[in-house]
Structure 1
Amino acid sequence: MSQSTIHRVEFKTNVVHINDVKQRDLARAKHLVAGHQPHGPKAKKPQHPRKQDCDGSSEIPVTDNGVTYLVNCGLGEPATNVSLLVDTGSSNIWVKDTSYQVTSTSTDTRKPFSIGYGSGSCSGTEYTDRLTLSKDLVVENQSIGVADKCAQMDGFDGIFGCGPVDLTKDTMAPDASNPNGIATVMDNLKSRGEIKIECLGIGYAPTTELNAASGTLCFGGADPSQYTGDLNYVPITSTSPASQYWGIDQSITYGDMEIMAECAGISDTGTTLILLPQDAFNCYQQQTGATLDPNTGLLTVTQAQYDQMKSMYFCVGDQKYELIPNAQRLSRNQSDSPDAITLAFMSMGDIQNDGLCFINGYAFLQRYYSVYDTANAQVGYAATKYTYATTN
Structure 2
Amino acid sequence: MLLVAALAPFVVLATSVAANPKATRNPHISLSITKHVNGNGTSSLPLRDQKRSMNLVKDCRQSEITDVPLNDSAIAYSVNIDVGDPPTNYNLMIDTGSANTWLGANKPYKKTKTSVKTSDVLNVTYSAGLGFAHGIEYEDTVIIAPGVAIRQSIGVASNSSGIYPYDGVLGLSPKYWSIGMLSPDNTSAIPTVTDNLYGQGKIEQNLVAVSFEPTTSAPVINGELTFGGTDSTKYTGDITYFPLTVTETTPANKYWAIEASFRYGNASATILNTTAGIVDTGTPLIGLATDAYNRYVDVTGAVYDEKAGLLRITPAQYKNLQSLFFDIGGKTYELTPNAQIWPRALNTLMGGETNSIYLVLFDLGPKISKEMGFIAGMPFLERYYCVFDTGNSRVGLATTPFTYADIN
Q: TM-score normalised to the size of structure 2?
A: 0.83
Deviations 1:268-290 (A, max 9, x none): 11111111111111111111111
- Select which of 32, 41, 44 maps to 2:56: 32
Q: 1:91 to 1:341 in 2, by over 3 A?
A: same
Partner of 2:36: helix, strand, or coil?
A: coil
Partner of 2:53: helix, strand, or coil?
A: helix
Q: 1:103 to 1:361 in 2, by over 3 A?
A: same
1:334 corresponds in structure 2 to 346
Measured in 1, the distance between the counterparts of 2:124 and 2:263 equals 37
1:20 pairs with 2:36 = no
Identity in percent: 38
Partner of 1:90: helix, strand, or coil?
A: coil
8 A contact 1:202–1:217 mirrored in 2:
yes
8 A contact 1:82–1:99 mirrored in 2:
no
Q: 1:174 to 1:196 in 2, by over 3 A?
A: farther
- Select which of 105, 122, 139 maps to 1:128: 139
Measured in 2, the distance between the counterparts of 1:125 and 1:353 equals 35
1:307 corresponds in structure 2 to 319
Measured in 1, the distance between the counterparts of 2:217 and 2:224 equals 16
Structure 1 residues 193-272: aligned runs within 5 Å = 193-239=201-247, 240-244=249-253, 245-255=255-265, 256-272=268-284
1:156 corresponds in structure 2 to 166
Q: 1:10 to 1:89 in 2, by over 3 A?
A: closer
Measured in 2, the distance between the counterparts of 1:285 and 1:96 equals 42
- Select which of 380, 401, 408 maps to 1:364: 380
Measured in 2, the distance between the counterparts of 1:196 and 1:149 equals 37
Deviation of the 1:11 alpha carbon: 4.7
1:81 corresponds in structure 2 to 89
Letter in 2 for 1:282: N
Deviations 1:111-136 (A, max 9, x none): 10233321233221011112122223
Q: 1:379 to 1:228 in 2, by over 3 A?
A: same
8 A contact 2:120–2:184 mirrored in 1:
no
Measured in 2, the distance between the counterparts of 1:214 and 1:66 equals 16
8 A contact 2:25–2:204 mirrored in 1:
no
Letter in 1 for 2:56: L
Q: Which has the higher mean CA deviation after the structures are superposed, 154-163 or 353-362?
A: 353-362
Q: TM-score normalised to the size of structure 1?
A: 0.86
8 A contact 2:217–2:346 mirrored in 1:
no
8 A contact 1:299–1:342 mirrored in 2:
yes
Unaligned segments of structure 1, at least 5 residues: 37-64
Deviation of the 1:335 alpha carbon: 1.2
- Select which of 119, 127, 139 maps to 1:110: 119
Q: 1:124 to 1:263 in 2, by over 3 A?
A: same
Unaligned segments of structure 2, at least 5 residues: 1-23, 61-72
Q: 1:375 to 1:217 in 2, by over 3 A?
A: same
Deviations 1:342-382 (A, max 9, x none): 10011111222443121111111111011111111111111
1:351 corresponds in structure 2 to 367
Letter in 2 for 1:331: P
Letter in 2 for 1:360: A
Measured in 2, the distance between the counterparts of 1:232 and 1:71 equals 26
Q: Alignment RMSD, CA only?
A: 2.1
- Select which of 306, 327, 335 maps to 1:294: 306
Measured in 1, the distance between the counterparts of 2:37 and 2:90 equals 13
Q: Which has the higher mean CA deviation after the structures are superposed, 152-161 or 115-124?
A: 115-124
Partner of 2:78: helix, strand, or coil?
A: strand
Q: Which has the higher mean CA deviation after the structures are superposed, 309-318 or 88-97?
A: 88-97
Deviations 1:124-172 (A, max 9, x none): 1011112122223322x21110112323223211110001222221121
Measured in 2, the distance between the counterparts of 1:151 and 1:241 equals 28
Letter in 2 for 1:378: R
